[in-house]
Amino acid sequence: MNIRIFACAGLVSLLWLPTMVSAADGEELAGLPVIRGIPTSPAEFILAARDEPSLMKIAPGEDSVYSGFAQIFADNLPVGPAPHTPWARPLPGRRLKVLVVSELHANHDVAELVRALDVDYRHAFVPFMYHYPRSNPEFYAEDAYFPVRARQALADGADVIVAPAASRLLGEQFARQVLEKVKAGAGLVLIGGGRFGGGGQYRFWTFEKDTPEAWRELDLVDAINGRFQHSPEPTVSQDAKLFADVPFSMLPGHHLFDLDLAEGAEVMVSDGKLPLVVTGRVGKGRVVLLPWAHWWGPFPIEEKNRKPDILPYQEYYASAVAKAILCAANRTAPAGVHVATKTIEAGKPSSARVQIEPVSALAQVWMRLRHPRGHELWSKTTSIGSGTLAADLPAVAAGRYLLDVIVRDTNGASLGWGSYALDATGKGTLAVELDKPAYGKGEPVKVTTKVSGVPAEKLTARLQVTDTHHRLLFDQAQPVEDGAATFAFPNRQPLAVLQYADVTVLRDARPLLADRADIFVPDFTWPNFTNLLWPGGGPEYVLDRRYRRQREIGFGMILGGGYGGTHSAANHMIAASGARPCFTNVVPVHPINVEKHPVQERERTLKDVARVCEQLNQIGSTVIYFQDERHGQGDSGEPTEEALAEFRKWLPSRYDDIATLNKAWGSEFASFDDVVPALTKDWNAREHDSLAPWLQWRLWALDEVIKIDRAAAAMIRDRVTKDAYMGLEGIFGLGGHNIPYGGTDLWEQSKDCFNTAAPYGENLINGARSFYDGPIMSWSGYGRDYSQYERYIWGMTLQGHWSLGWWYGPCFYHPWDSWYQQATWVNTMTRPLREGVGDLLLATRPIISEPIAFLYSQPSLYAMGVLGQEVNPNNPNLLVRPAQWARISLQRMLQDQGVQFGFVSEEQMQKGQYGGIKLLILSSCVAIEPETAKAVCMFVEQGGIVLADLSPGVFDNHGVPQSPGLVDALFGIKHTARFHLKTDIAEWGIGTHDAPPELPIGGQWYIGQYYEDTLRVADGRAIGKHYFDPDGVPAFVYKKTGKGAALLMNYLETEYRRVPDNFQKVLARELLRAAGIEAPFTLHDARTNVLIDDGLKVSRWRDGQSHYIGILLDKGRRVRVELREGGHVYELARRLDFGQADVAEVDMRDRPYALLAVMPYRVGALRVEPGTARRGQPLSVNVVLPGIQQPVRHVVHLEVQQPDGTVNLPLTQNVALENGRWQGTLPLALNDPTGTWTVTAAEAVSGVTAEAKVEVKP
């Protein structure tokens, strides 16, 4: 096979995205070229693309990986191995040149065609068809990269052009060039029904606006009559001149169009009244129109959310398109195949008559009887003889089957092929019934077989249960008595959430009837530390293959979709792959819609959730994410009547009476029924003292969203499981576009609602970890480089993530069944974490936090979303990001001192539930509850230290201004007017002086661009001031109260997150010292002996006498760790053993992360003790840590190898040794190989291993 990719001159190497390094299963098909010439860094890509303006926009971007850009920059591309039928491989005679137009990221069908049809392929690519035309129109200008390369490919010669809907984006010149080629004699296969957007939006693409006119001269159509029509059960007309030997009746449904054909066009095949194949001449060339709707390439697509009846349907679509290409090329197959037999009798050997015309004495005929699930039941190769062959078939159960035939010459070239449906018919029916819709682990399954319409004598029912790892778990036969047979499947130690109960009824040992039932064992527990994949879409055959292969390289969990139950088929395929299903968008709520129609949205959403619950009850979900990226970027503009009614019902929960509201709002409403809130476009902070008319509307809208979340969570706990992990994923943080419109409140949603979160980045991890006791995760992937992958993998693990989330399937697995290099990175870099280290940290969670907390105040977060008008009347959101930057800077100042922190809510502060905190930080806490203010004052009285950047409590939680502020007395401050913010130049304008001895921060300088200019000192002590302010506004106002003290900075520290400076480090260090907090170790540069106090994150875990320390640096260096508590020290990322020590020197220059284990002893040995083993029986295994008194908990990775050396992935697992021992069993399957197996145990901390051999007997 020769695959040519046309790349621009000079681009020997380009895209830094993924490098395709191998075929997906570790080998390549014979004769496939190896990819080469792809850049390894963004810099190399940008340099190579400097002469291509249309590419420069995407060169630095990360999304190019999942748009498939890698394909266009290589000289050759491999098509990886996958099950296929070589219908037309090889072909006799002159090799055809075929140009295929396809999308870069979604051309799975092209790979199937390449495997089936042996021609010289050329490719013209279109990037991300339905996205880039809008966001990157420059890609599609006539002189841009893609149209130019497409024209070059066409100029190189093409006997046939395959043109799906993506072709319309390659410009008028390409279309005219295609027209000229066809008129000169080239063939054209035009796929007519394009997919435009989601949700089944199919249109005939040549009639679409902006499609070049030349395509209308080629499409053989005068008019389209109405919308597309769905054909759920395709048929092929009896007089079909093409596709008579393609089993469309067994293939998924498709969408067709009612066409008025152009003069000279002919319908070769119809499906009912609709054309399925149209042909005609344009000049000297033949056009073959396939008017079905498509998306991924030339194959039809149904998108009906149901599992296909035939699994390898893509092979038959490849057969059909190959026939269409040969038809367009005027290449008649030398031999025709016809199967005259349509039905056979079930339960008996039978014969099918196969006719080959014309007859060639030298030809060979290969025949195969195939089950719809894809496996072969019978095959035979024979000489052609007289041209009429008898396919002597074995007895099969009643049902539909496929008979495939390929005729080949003596050189193996394909002379013709065909496939036909065979119906095995017989009397009687079979029903397989389970006693429950789903089962718990170890819960027996009662399987009842009911037979009717068949004489009962000599009937035997056989039940075989297999799981999705292809393990045979149960195989038993018993006689059918009184038309029924009942089996008890023990369901011990299930290793998959889906198992298949296949029942075959036999007479005289021959299959007569067969049926299958799915046994669901939903699992809501957390597995071993693994990778969670956001998979991306694709046709069913792609998903099945991709999911299974991605699971095998380390993606143990795959994310499915809720969406009101509309993704049930794809979710079932996740379970069928053997991966653990997870769900997202189970409760997708759009805050703007809730704000407009709260009642309607609540009712609609909960109906959708109820439908998803049915799926959750079947396949389970390790984690249930309510929504991906809950966005909110503005309000509704005008309140609807429905919204006003609900808002007015809510107000009495906030105000005792209307008089109280009027006082807070500065309004004169007669009753709650008259209240009208203020929306952002009408708000002017300079004209209103109170934020309440605006803030209360925003808090009500948030409350309505949370009300839906809470109701959905209650429904899931009631209908599915009380143990579900539920939360949001893709959380953007406590600032940015989602404040104050995004529908997220970490604290409120943690109460009877969420227990997990998957925020983006590292800045919200501590907040999520503080409020949720379930799994914390995040997302990475894309086209990021190696170092970014490495930082994410170890950075997130060392900050307490339970597993690693990855976006998304096409970043790792190419549509042509090859791995991108990113997949190799994930596989290799996460292996030590998946094989014990990750579970060790999970077992010892939570991460230890120093007694430091940030106050979480939702009204304050929202207030900062409008107070920007204080600075710029036209930009209410001006301060949202600076407030977030300040919070991030303060957090990093602490982390650089080697300490961790948490968050505490206002409610927790009021109830005294803040767990020994010594340092409390109030960042932008401008609008807090009065009771919170009292609690903060009490905290200081009792000895706590409080740090605030802006004046806390200048508004209450309703948004009513407070004079004096609720905690003004605590800080010793006053205000000359209502709270007012001011901006200054970004310069070192804040200086400190005359600091008290207990807080020696004098002589420091800070950049304070945002501050309150109405602030003055009352009885506090101004340690600093704003030197560029004409009034010299105070900064760092300090006051001692009781046993504690409070410090008000009076500016937003926005700079440290970008440029850490020693001034801020002094502040952080002295605050910690004043609070009596110290890091558990010190970290020095081993070469210079300089203290490392920037670009640092430290995490600690403790499990009895064992102590684990994670160190993450922004800049690699050789470090010396000086521990306050010594022991036997190991470094787990590098497998180092420092022995008994309290100092460890680690070279972190290449890998800026380390994980130290401080153990009470050295791990010297490990022992594995397997018991006797028989197939189908549990293998008992003991793992022992000998010779240690009072051992701590250990995690051991058990790898199980079969006699041929392959790893048995389902049995391989991590186990925890308690008191130095693990005793358990490995459930062997009935079809596991006999012979000598090997069980290897590896202890996660020391790397000590032990091995044992065990003989598995039949």
More confident residue, 22 or 1171: 1171
- pLDDT for 845: 87
Residues near 938 by beta carbon (within 8 Å), at least 6 away in sequence? none
Q: Which of residues 800, 818, 843 is at a domain's end? A: 843
At 812, list the tokens: 């790792």
Residue 8 within a domain: no
At 817, list the tokens: 């069944």
Sign of CA dihedral 101, 106, 111, 112: negative
> Is the bond preceding residue 813 a cis peptide, omega within 30 degrees?
no
Residue 265 within a domain: yes
At 902, list the tokens: 């948490």
Q: Shortest CA distance to 590 belongs to which of 576, 575, 580, 601?
A: 601
Residues near 83 by beta carbon (within 8 Å), at least 6 away in sequence? 312, 315, 374
Q: Shortest CA distance to 395 belongs to which of 307, 503, 506, 317?
A: 506
Which tens digits make up the pLDDT trace of 900-952? 999 999 999 999 999 899 999 999 999 999 999 999 999 999 999 999 999 99
Q: Shortest CA distance to 228 belongs to which of 300, 178, 292, 322?
A: 292
Which tens digits make up the pLDDT trace of 524-580? 999 999 999 999 888 888 888 889 999 999 999 999 999 999 999 999 999 999 999
In whole angstroms, what is the distance from residue 557 CA to residue 575 CA? 10
- Evaluate whether 3 touches 121 at the Cβ level (below 8 Å): yes
Q: Shortest CA distance to 1039 belongs to which of 981, 967, 990, 979?
A: 967
At 485, list the tokens: 């047979």
756-759/779-781 β-pairing: unpaired
Which domain CATH number covers 178?
A: 3.40.50
Identify whether residues 1058 and 997 lie together within a single domain.
Answer: yes
Mean pLDDT of the 1030-1039 span: 96
In whole angstroms, what is the distance from residue 842 CA to residue 816 CA? 37
Which domain CATH number covers 487?
A: 2.60.40.1930
- pLDDT for 442: 96
Q: Give the 3-state secondary structure of 1004-1045.
A: CEEECCEEECCEEECCCEEEEEECCCCCCCEEEEEEEECCEE
At 1198, list the tokens: 């058990």
Identify whether residues 911 and 1038 lie together within a single domain.
Answer: yes
In whole angstroms, what is the distance from residue 833 CA to residue 329 CA? 54
Mean pLDDT of the 794-800 span: 96
Q: Which amino acid is at 431?
A: A
Q: Which amino acid is at 1176?
A: G
In whole angstroms, what is the distance from residue 247 CA to residue 310 CA? 11
pTM for the structure as a whole: 0.93
Identify whether residues 798 and 747 lie together within a single domain.
Answer: yes
Where does the pLDDT of residue 612 fall: very low under 50, low under 70, confident under 90, or very high at 90 and above? Answer: very high
- Evaluate whether 797 touches 841 at the Cβ level (below 8 Å): yes
Which domain CATH number covers 1089?
A: 2.60.40.1180
At 164, list the tokens: 């799906």
Identify whether residues 833 and 860 lie together within a single domain.
Answer: no
In whole angstroms, what is the distance from residue 148 CA to residue 171 CA? 9
Q: Which amino acid is at 167?
A: S
In whole angstroms, what is the distance from residue 866 CA to residue 862 CA? 7
Distances (CA, A) of 252 to 232, 272, 279, 370: 7, 16, 24, 17
* DSSP code, position 961: B
Sign of CA dihedral 112, 115, 121, 127: positive
Q: Which residues of 16-43 are buried (b: 16+ CB within 10 A; e: fewer)?
A: bbbbbebbbbeebbeebbebebbbeebe
Helix %, strand %, coil % of the chain (to 5) = 25, 30, 45
In whole angstroms, what is the distance from residue 1073 CA to residue 1085 CA? 22
Residues near 699 by beta carbon (within 8 Å), at least 6 away in sequence? 858, 859, 862
Distances (CA, A) of 492 to 244, 445, 1145: 48, 10, 48
Identify whether residues 1013 and 899 lie together within a single domain.
Answer: yes
Identify whether residues 743 and 723 lie together within a single domain.
Answer: yes
Q: Which of residues 1001, 1035, 1065 is at a domain's end? A: 1065
Residue 293 within a domain: yes
Distances (CA, A) of 86 to 89, 96, 319, 366, 818: 5, 16, 9, 11, 19
Number of CB atoms found within 10 A of residue 1199's CB: 18
* DSSP code, position 555: -
More confident residue, 735 or 190: 190
Identify whether residues 266 and 410 lie together within a single domain.
Answer: no
Structural domain of 551: 531-633+705-843
Number of CB atoms found within 10 A of residue 1040's CB: 15
Residue 108 within a domain: yes
Mean pLDDT of the 730-750 span: 90
Mean pLDDT of the 744-755 span: 96
Q: Give the 3-state secondary structure of 318-338.
A: HHHHHHHHHHHCCCCCCCEEE
Alpha helices in 334-491 (DSSP H): none
Query: Is residue 6 pLDDT above 80, yes or no?
Result: no
Which domain CATH number covers 887?
A: 3.40.50.880
CA-atom Rg of the chain in angstroms: 35
More confident residue, 212 or 821: 212
Residue 755 within a domain: yes
Mean pLDDT of the 585-610 span: 97
- pLDDT for 784: 81
Q: Shortest CA distance to 698 belongs to which of 742, 654, 655?
A: 742
Burial label, 1160 (beta-carbon count in 10 A; 0-12, 13-18, 19+): middle
In whole angstroms, what is the distance from residue 605 CA to residue 715 CA? 12
Long-range contacts of 56-59 (CB under 8 A, 24+ apart): 57/136, 57/138, 58/127, 58/136
In whole angstroms, what is the distance from residue 969 CA to residue 358 CA? 103
| Domain total of the chain | 7
More confident residue, 1130 or 201: 1130
Identify whether residues 1231 and 1173 lie together within a single domain.
Answer: yes
- pLDDT for 26: 36
Identify whether residues 377 and 480 lie together within a single domain.
Answer: no
Residues near 157 by beta carbon (within 8 Å), at least 6 away in sequence? 97
Residue 13 within a domain: no
At 234, list the tokens: 């395709």
Mean pLDDT of the 649-661 span: 97
Query: Is residue 73 pLDDT above 50, yes or no?
Result: no
Identify whether residues 1153 and 1193 lie together within a single domain.
Answer: no
Q: Which of residues 328, 354, 369 is at a domain's end? A: 328
Q: What is the residue-wise DSSP string for 794-827? A: HHHHTTT-SSEEEE-GGGTEETTTEEEHHHHHHH
Identify whether residues 1085 and 1217 lie together within a single domain.
Answer: no
Distances (CA, A) of 600 to 564, 589, 707: 15, 12, 13
- pLDDT for 54: 58
- pLDDT for 106: 80
Query: Is residue 315 pLDDT above 90, yes or no?
Result: yes
Residues near 1143 by beta carbon (within 8 Å), at least 6 away in sequence? 1120, 1121, 1122, 1123
At 547, list the tokens: 């999911």
Q: Shortest CA distance to 252 belongs to which of 294, 197, 204?
A: 294
Distances (CA, A) of 476 to 260, 436, 463, 493, 505: 59, 20, 5, 19, 12
In whole angstroms, what is the distance from residue 481 CA to residue 486 CA? 10
* Residue 1237, phi then psi, degrees to nearest 5: -100, 160
Which tens digits make up the pLDDT trace of 208-218? 998 999 999 99
Mean pLDDT of the 86-110 span: 91
At 45, list the tokens: 């890509």
Mean pLDDT of the 957-967 span: 97
Residue 76 within a domain: no
Q: At what angle do helices 641-650 and 598-619 cross, to 10 degrees?
A: 80
User: Which of 144-148, 176-180, 1101-1105, 1241-1245 has the weakest average pLDDT?
Assistant: 144-148
Q: At what angle do helices 880-895 and 1062-1075 cross, to 10 degrees?
A: 70
Q: Which amino acid is at 290?
A: L
Identify whether residues 252 and 313 lie together within a single domain.
Answer: yes
At 684, list the tokens: 């002017």
Residue 1247 within a domain: yes
Mean pLDDT of the 81-103 span: 93
Task: Match 């367009």 to its residue by tokens.
Answer: 328
